[in-house]
Amino acid sequence: MNSNPSTPMNAHAPSSSSGGAGSPDSNTPRRNSKRPKYSRFTQQELPACKPILTPKWVISAFMLVTIVFIPIGLTTLFASRDVVEIIDRYDNACVPGSKSQKVQHIQSATSNKTCIRSLTVRKRMKQPIYVYYQLDNFYQNHRRYVKSRSDQQLRNRGDENDTSTCKPENEANGMTIVPCGLVAWSLFNDTYSLSTSNSQLTINKRHISWKSDRDEKFGSEVYPKNFQNGGLIGGGRLNESIPLNEQEDLIVWMRTAALPTFRKLYGKIEVDIEAGETINVVVENRYNTYSFSGKKKLVLSTTSWLGGKNNFIGIAYLAVGGLCFLLATTFTIIYLVKPRHLGDPTYLSWNRNPGGH
Amino acid sequence: MGTGRKRRLHFSKIYSFKCGRNRFDDDHSQIGGPGFSRVVYCNETGVAEAASQSYADNYVRSTKYTPMTFLPKSLFEQFRRVANFYFLVTGILSFTKLAPYSAVSAILPLIVVIGATMVKEGIEDWQRQKQDYEVNNRKVKVHRGGGVFESREWKNLRVGDVVKVVKDEFFPADLLILSSSYEDAVCYVETMNLDGETNLKLKQSLEATSTIHDDSDFNHFKATVKCEDPNASLYTFVGTMEYQEQQYALSPQQLLLRDSKLRNTDYIYGAVIFTGHDTKVIQNSTEAPSKRSGIERRTDRIIYFLFFILFLMAFLGSVYFGVVTKRDLDGDRQRRWYLGPDRSDIFFDPKRAPAAAVYHFLTALLLYGYLIPISLYVSIEIVKVLQTIFINNDIHMYYEEADKPAHARTSNLTEELGQIDTILSDKTGTLTCNSMEFIKCSVAGTAYGRGVTEVERAMAKRTGSPLIVNGRDQLLDDHNDEDSTLSVKGYNFEDERVTNGYWFHEPHSDVIQKFFRLLAICHTAIPDLDEETGKVTYEAESPDEAAFVIAARELGFEFYKRTQTTVSFMELDPVSKKRVERTYELLNVLEFNSARKRMSVIVRDEDGKLLLLCKGADSVMFDRLAKNGREFEESTKEHVNEYADAGLRTLILAYRELNEEEYKEFNEKFTEAKNSVSADRDELIDQATEEIEKDLILLGATAVEDKLQKGVPECIDKLAQAGIKIWVLTGDKMETAINIGFACSLLRQGMKQIIITLESPEIIAAEKDGDKNVISKVSKESVKKQILAGKAQLTASTSDPFALIIDGKSLAYALHDDIKSTFLELAVGCASVICCRSSPKQKALVTRLVKEGTGKTTLAIGDGANDVGMLQEADIGVGISGVEGMQAVMSSDIAIAQFRFLERLLLVHGHWCYRRISSMICYFFYKNIVFGTTVFLYEAYASFSGQPAYNDWYLSLYNVFFTSLPAIALGVFDQDVSARFCLKFPLLYQEGVQNTLFRWRRIFGWMLNGLVSGVIIFFLCTRALDPESYRKNGKTAGMEVVGATIYTCVVWVANCQMALAVSYFTLIQHVFIWGGIILWYLFLLAYGAMPTSISTTAYNVFVETLAPAPSYWVVTLFVVIAALVPYFCYKAVQMRFFPAYHGMIQWIRYEGNTDDPEYVNMVRQRSIRTTTVGYTARSIARDNNLYHLNLELQAPK
């Protein structure tokens, strides 16, 4: 940033200024001069890179994207293909009949809700196998729903009565509910028990929730209280002797999903399942998705380094990579065919219509 | 009186003052009535009556705010903006349950934005406050009582105080002069700050008080002044003074106005009449009309458009929301039972779905508010302030001689500088220096003087003759301004036949002697003898007059002393070769006025001979010559015409010898006329002088050059190449204006001149008849006819350039409502327009006509008080901070020291600022639309319930922190092409004039780009992350993960888009662009580390859930590239195959000039082709075969 007399001063500057110009930053003011101090900043002459999209740059940028994207695409696609995923929609299968019959069935306290499903494993599933339930058309991201909880209450025993945000599910029978709010109230309560032909598959529910939730958001001193005691029973009940931070189903449920179709972790199976085996699932189909025409699915899935089965990322990478390759070749061809098509200035708007003379 | 006092002459006797007489005319009868109620008890502080008066104190406040009013007033100003008001409303609503986010997060950005603006306001006001403090605490001597004067601050001055102001001090308030150091109690006042005029004005006290000369005299001084109430009229004052039990009438002649300066007078005593805000100058200071730039107006429209979109989105969402909500409860059956529809509050109640929808509409308005860039206005303001700092600091616009840098006084018009379509320029002081140089003379029929004028130089260029003086010209140019030993200001006469006393050897040496004596005697200048150096300087009424006296001095007739009755000068005696002193007795001065167009003096020389010396305009002088005085008439006339052609101002010099009787008769008449009090006094004086100023003997003519400012022709040429039209509005007469037009290449040979004037015989005949209605009717018809004829000419030949020259009288008619549009069409069709003899008001009217008639941006440039109207009327007023005082500068938007700086101001700064601001605004809309799109799309997946995927603080900080700084950096630093290329390819400027960078197509292009980016980001992110697990540990992505990922992509895309759009990548850009992204991650870390009660959904989100997940990074990379590809393709194609003009220049720069000279030429030629004025066009007109310009084919050389 240092400037010296060799910098382009005003060409007409008389000699009197050169004394000051040699040391423009010196603090001795030259008799009241208002001459602006020279600096590359104030003169807007900062060193700068002036990028311009030359053919070389354009083609290499596209090629670079191609070169980076194709391998990533392939890798992710392979990763996704390694993942074995079994999805079973059971809501309709478990409850036959019309919609209103289904609703009636699910709302009835007495009806038998047990339902048996069997799944075939097409490909060997290596442990850990994750068990999810997937709900469709369930707006966990509805504002009324999202807001209807009390983080204070979940965290601190002392804030038990801090339920103002939980309405309408804040109290029942004149007593506060712990955990309060619609989210907790509508806790998913279908249960699955899985078995293969030769053995029961234990579903491990430990650490299916985020550690920070267990440690920070759900208190170890806070126990469920007065939960599902109101007139309307929403979803699952909670064991009142277990503190909230160990109620992992609840914790998972209470991390609201982003979109109306979502999966939530139910548990882990920590044994491999061989291809060809059949898994028998005993579903306690209690949760009401019939009122709002939601779907319920049971999902068993392994994971890769990228997570679950998702070809989208890989395909999208390949698509964009391919597109860029296409663009690169197109541009190359155009540049070769019209090597110096100089922008014809006659196309400039003001030349088409030369303003009066 | 006091012996120490200088006894200087009684000027009241030299000048035929009209002011010395005090008559009670009609005005004074109003004293005491309404509007004339002020009573001032002079020198009676402490007296009960005086104390009971409650006139304003002398504290002057120019600040907008006081500490008390700052908050409410500035807040009010802020919320008058629609966008800000909207954000205020949303801020208030965010405290209700309607809000989709927390109130604090909504209010904070508003506070930041408003706070930043208010800090700016505050700083500006504080600087004004500092100025006020300085002014209010200046000291002045005030009579304390008992004849003792003490120093007191200005602010403590009271009405009625008696003050003593000494030489070169400003008057602290409006004063009534009581007496001065001169015996006749006159004083000289410089009113530069008031009207911009540099010549000194004479004020004189009442005779009754003029005898007070000592401090002690004020011990018993008492007077009562009754006068008009405070008003803004600078040139009127009505009042009476009661002094020693007598009534005296007061006139403006006794009033010394605040902010004018005492000059050439040792001291004055005055009584304070008006103080502080009552003073005339402050009453006069109107708030400059606040101007808004076209871009800002268009920005407002875009904001309104966005508001429309916002309301539309909110409306659609609400309708959907209402329908869905209603469906939730079907009798007893609940559909989405988990929302508890049966127990809902009003906001979600299915039973009251319409109401819920209405409430939801409000919520949606709050949520989609991110479509409106909250920080746009404050960013624009910040950017503009920085831009003005660049303008103020441009070393290339610093004028060394006057020590004046450019000064942008308002910061809200910078980008308008890049869109100027028409420049309306004053002539004197703007194009010319307003310094007159004595350059030639014609004595006894012989032309002297070898100096070359700008015009001659230009004409030599024009006729194509190689400029013989070229080499010397350069020399002159270089030395003229700085080297005082070689040249004398106001004098540029070179002729070895005359200088150094050689005139004695010329054939008519006696005439030459008389000629120069006349120059030394016939004037009203006052010499100022510097006793140390013995050098004489002059104080003259006009620069012309100074030039004459200086010329006489340089040629050996040194005027050095003036007394009330004598004029003395030193002269080289040709015989004895000695300097001899000559003293002429000064008998009468017959003043100059615009009707007489001449001035004379009557003197008695040392031999007792009576002489009348006269100088005047050629139009009046040749008629007054005696039969025997016309010896040199023919040759002199010829010379005078030559001089006028060369752009010089000429005066004819003549004399006459009087005999005693004749003079006696005249003097009686003249004295009687002067002393008469009747209404026709002026006429009597005219008659008296008419009779004596005749039968003159011609001596010769002088030619004074009104010098063009340095670099003016070059600047005009560049501006013309840039396609800017230049109109000259001048008060000068037509010939002079045309000359100057030639000098600065606005006119050239081969250009057809359409002259509209009212000098035709029938008009003159009508004028003689004197019937006003007839005159105006005939005149108007004539003007109309001429305009129509001009238009016919214009349409007949499209290939010839035309010039329109119109005089003030015709202009008055041409500006009538019914013909002004025709006139405008004609004027716009002409390459250059010159309006001469135009009044200040006409200048303003023409400016308004151009501005409103064409709808284009206009710039007015001028230096004098007469340009103020024009400057304020134009879109941008540029004041020349030259010699003509500060009035123009005070009412201008930008002040520069020289006309030539306009080139850099417009072509470089204007272009840059325009480009920067328009790009920045487009970018602001882009980034907000990207963000708004993602918010809206997410809503579609949340059944329009008003739940954003983002954490509250992500929402609120988006505009303020993560994306605004790069945009501001763009607005401050971006350059499409460097300053050098801006000047080399002036046509680049047309980008601004045509508004190519901010036309609707481009704005909507950017908006579309934003929409596309937003859609790509949203869908790619959600498809990639949901619903399967996104990590190896099998966990699925909740709202916080998806939200943060989308947000990350938005921040990346917005910033990378910026990186693609920037064409001048300095370190600062790097810091801001990449810094914005890094800042987001840092914020995420910091915010995530806060306790859960603060960070809520963002708690640990980055550390725990995002960063360890490869898919997060993979998705980010992918989405960012995918979202940028469309724009990148567009830009690559556009840059290569359809480059805009700046793009072509960028190619030239990139490929190097030598790479393809043909291309460079072609691009440059573009900028020349449309040009019709300026010397480049002139040279092309000459060598037209070189460029094959059919435009010029008809004007072969």
pLDDT at B1192 over 60: no
Please tell me which residue of chain A has the smallest CA distance to B799: A357
| pLDDT of the residue at A244 | 87
| Whole-number pLDDT of residue B1187 | 38
Confidence of residue B32 (pLDDT cuts 50, 70, 90): low
Pick from A186, A256, A351: CB nearest B1039: A256
Token pair in block for residue B475: 């020399």
Burial B1060-1073 (b: 16+ CB within 10 A, else e): ebbbbbbebbbebb
Q: ∠ CA(B257), CA(B262), CA(B265), 5° rounding? A: 135
Whole-number pLDDT of residue A26: 39
The tens digit of pLDDT for each residue in B158-195 reads 888 888 888 888 888 888 888 888 777 888 887 766 65
Q: Who has greater pLDDT, A194 or B1180?
A: A194
Contacts of A65 in chain B (CB under 8 A): 1121, 1125
pTM: 0.80
Which of A54, A55, A263 lies nearest to residue B1036, judging by beta carbons? A263
Q: Strand B139-145 relative to strand B446-448: parallel, antiparallel, unpaired?
A: unpaired
Query: Token pair for residue A54?
Result: 């030359």
Do residues A179 and A244 lie in contact, with contact meaning Cβ atoms separated by under 8 Å? Answer: yes
Element holding B569 (H helix, E strand) = strand B566-572
- Cα separation, B827 vs B560, in Å, equals 51
Distance CA A224, CA A175 (A): 12
Least confident window among B310-324, B401-415, B895-909? B401-415
The SS3 call for residue B1149 is helix
Q: H/E element holding B579?
A: strand B579-590
- Chain A neighbours among B 889-918 (CB < 8 Å)? 912
Contact A52 B1093 (CB under 8 A): no
Residues in chain A with CB shorter than 8 Å from the CB of B1162 are: 342, 345
- In this structure, which long-range contacts are made by residues B1091-1098, counting pairs with CB atoms below 8 Å and at least 24 apart in sequence? B1091/A216, B1092/A151, B1092/A155, B1092/A212, B1092/A216, B1092/A217, B1093/A151, B1093/A152, B1093/A155, B1095/B951, B1096/A151, B1096/B951, B1096/B952, B1097/B951, B1097/B1039, B1097/B1040, B1097/B1043, B1098/B951, B1098/B953, B1098/B954, B1098/B1040, B1098/B1044
Residue of A nearest to B1104 (CA): A212
Q: Are strands B857-862 and B420-425 parallel, antiparallel or unpaired?
A: parallel
- Picking from B572, B574, B581, B643, the residue whose alpha carbon sits closest to that of residue B606 is B581
B1089 touches A: beta carbon within 8 Å: no
Please give the radius of gyration of chain A, using alpha carbons only, rounded to the nearest integer. 34
Nearest chain A residue to B980 by CA distance is A45
Q: What is the pLDDT of residue B13?
A: 42
CA separation, residue B1125 to residues A49, A317, A334 (Å) = 22, 13, 18
Q: Tokens 């909207």 sit at which residue?
A: B86
Say yes or no for a CB contact (<8 Å) between A47 and B403: no
**ipTM of the shown complex:** 0.88
CA distance B745 to chain A (A): 15
Contact at CB, B943 and A37, closer than 8 angstroms = no
Q: Give the pair of three-digit tokens for residue A83.
A: 């993942």
Residue A66: pLDDT band with limits 50, 70, 90: very high
Quick check: A305 contacting B, CB < 8 Å? yes
Q: Which residues of A230-251 are buried (b: 16+ CB within 10 A; e: fewer)?
A: beeebbbebeeeebbbebbbbb
Nearest by Cα to B501 from B605, B582, B560, B575: B575
What residues of B act catalytically? 426
Q: What is the mean pLDDT of residues A223-246?
A: 83
Q: Please give the Cα distance from B360 to B944 (Å, whole number).
A: 9
* pLDDT of B678 above 80: no
- Six-digit token pair at B809? 């009288």
Phi, psi of B151, deg, nearest 5: -80, 135
Q: How confident is the model at residue A23 (pLDDT cuts 50, 70, 90)?
A: very low
Place of tokens 């590809």: B1125
Cα distances from B1066 to residues B912, B1059, B1069, in angstroms, run 15, 11, 5
pLDDT for res A350 = 43
Who among B403, B1020, B1143 is closest to A343 (CB)?
B1143
Three-state SS letters, B50-67: HHHCCCCCCCCCCCCCCC
Beta carbons of B1121 and A65 less than 8 Å apart:
yes
Dist. CA B304–CA B160, nearest whole Å: 56
User: Within 10 Å of residue B516's Cβ, how many Cβ atoms?
Assistant: 26
Element containing residue A151 per DSSP (H, E): helix A151-155
**B contacts of A37 (beta carbons < 8 Å):** 393
Residue among B400, B829, B1038 minimizing CB distance to A256: B1038
Range 836-875 of B in CB contact (< 8 A) with A? none
Helix (H, G, I), strand (E, B) or coil at B180: strand
Contacts of A265 in chain B (CB under 8 A): 1029, 1034-1036
Q: What is the pLDDT of residue A14?
A: 36
Taking only the tens place, the pLDDT of each residue in B473-530 is 433 343 343 333 345 677 778 777 877 777 777 888 888 888 888 888 888 887 877 7
Pick from A51, A76, A145: CB nearest B1114: A76
Question: Is B102 an interface residue toward A (CB < 8 Å)?
Answer: no
Q: What is the DSSP letter of B1026?
A: S
| Amino acid identity for residue B263 in this structure | R
Contact B1026 A345 (CB under 8 A): no
> Which residues make beta-bridge pairs with B139?
B153
The pLDDT of residue A299 is 92
Task: Tell me if chain A has a CB within 8 Å of the CB of B679.
Answer: no
CA distance A177 to chain B (A): 16
- Cβ–Cβ contacts within 10 Å for residue B628, how many? 8
Q: Which of A71, A80, A156 is nearest to B1029 (CA)?
A: A80
Stronger pLDDT, B474 or B959, i.e. the higher one? B959
Q: Residue B1116's pLDDT is what?
A: 93
DSSP per-residue string spanning B862-922? E-SGGGHHHHHHSSEEEEE-SSS-SHHHHT-SEEESSTTHHHIIIIIIIHHHHHHHHHHHH
A46 and B CB contact within 8 Å: yes
For the record, the structure tokens of B1127 come out as 């724009």
What is the pLDDT averaged over residues A75-88?
A: 91
Residue burial A275-299, b: 16+ Cβ < 10 Å; e: rest: eebebebebebebbbbbbebebbbb
Q: How many CB atoms lie within 10 A of CB B76?
A: 10
Q: What angle is formed at CA B916 by the lines to CA B913 and CA B917, rounded to 5 degrees?
A: 85
| Token pair 């006409």 in the structure block, residue | B842
Looking at B42-56, B455-469, B772-786, B923-937, which range is the least confident one?
B455-469
Q: Biggest alpha carbon distance in chain A?
A: 105
- Give the bridge partners for B256, in sequence order: B175
- Contact assessment for residue B922 and residue B1003, using Cβ atoms and an 8 Å cutoff: yes
DSSP H helical segments within B531-659, as ranges?
A: 543-554, 618-621, 633-645
- Enter the tokens of residue B722: 């840039």
Instruction: Out of A199-203, B75-79, B117-121, B1147-1151, pick the least confident.
Output: B1147-1151
Indicate the SS3 state at residue B794: helix
Edge-to-edge strand ranges of the sheet holding B407-408: B407-408, B894-896, B876-880, B857-862, B420-425, B725-729, B832-836, B802-807, B752-756
Q: Does B326 touch chain A (CB under 8 A)?
A: no
Considering CB atoms only, which of A69, A142, A345 is closest to B1144?
A: A345
Helix (H, G, I), strand (E, B) or coil at B319: helix
Q: Which residues of B touch A288 (CB under 8 A)?
A: 337
A-chain residue closest to B1167, CA distance:
A351
At B407 the three-state DSSP class reads strand
Name the helix (H) or strand (E) containing A66: helix A55-82
Closest CA to A66 of A312, A313, A324: A324
Neighbours of B637 (CB within 10 A): 17
Interface test with B, best of A142, A154, A245, A346 (most B CBs within 10 A): A142
pLDDT at A9: 37
Judged against a pLDDT cut of 60, whether residue A343 lies above it is answered with no
Distance from the Cα of A179 to chain B's closest Cα (Å) equals: 15
Cβ contacts (< 8 Å) between A134 and chain B: which residues?
Answer: 1027
Inter-CA distances, B626 with B522, B588, B959, Å: 20, 21, 85
pLDDT tier at B316 (50, 70, 90 boundaries)?
A: very high
Q: Are residues B1068 and A44, on separate chains, in Cβ contact within 8 Å?
A: no
CB proximity under 8 Å: A 61-120 to B? 61, 65, 69, 72, 76, 85, 103
The yes-or-no verdict on residue B887 having pLDDT over 70 is: no
Enumerate residues 1150 to 1169 of chain B having a beta carbon within 8 A of any beta carbon in chain A: 1150, 1159, 1162-1163, 1166, 1169
Average pLDDT along chain B: 80
**Which amino acid appears at position B30 of this protein?**
Q
The structure tokens listed for B118 are 């208010």
Contact B129, B121 (CB under 8 A): no
Looking at residues B810-825, what average pLDDT do you find? 85
Answer whether B751's CB lies under 8 Å from B801's CB: yes
Instruction: Write a three-state SS string for A196-215.
Output: ECCCEECEECCCCCCHHHHH
Which residues of B fall within a CB distance of 8 Å from A351? 1166, 1170
Between CA A346 and CA B987 the distance in angstroms is: 13
pLDDT at B457: 67
E strand or H helix at A153? helix A151-155
B157: confidence class by pLDDT, cuts 50, 70, 90 = confident
Probe site for chain A from B945, B981, B1035, B1095 (most A CB atoms < 10 A): B1035
Taking Cα atoms as reference points, which of A315, A136, A322 lies closest to residue B1020? A315
Please report, as a single letter, which amino acid is at residue B180.
Answer: S
Mutate to test the interface with A, among B1023, B1028, B1134 (most CBs of A within 10 A): B1028
If pLDDT is split at 50, 70 and 90, which confidence band does B1012 have?
Answer: very high
Nearest CA in chain A to B1117: A69
Q: Are B981 and B1064 in contact (CB under 8 A)?
A: no
Write phi, then psi, for A200 (nearest 5 degrees): -75, 140
With CB atoms and an 8 Å threshold, state whether A12 touches B400. yes
Is residue B23 over pLDDT 60?
A: no
d(CA B392, CA B902): 13
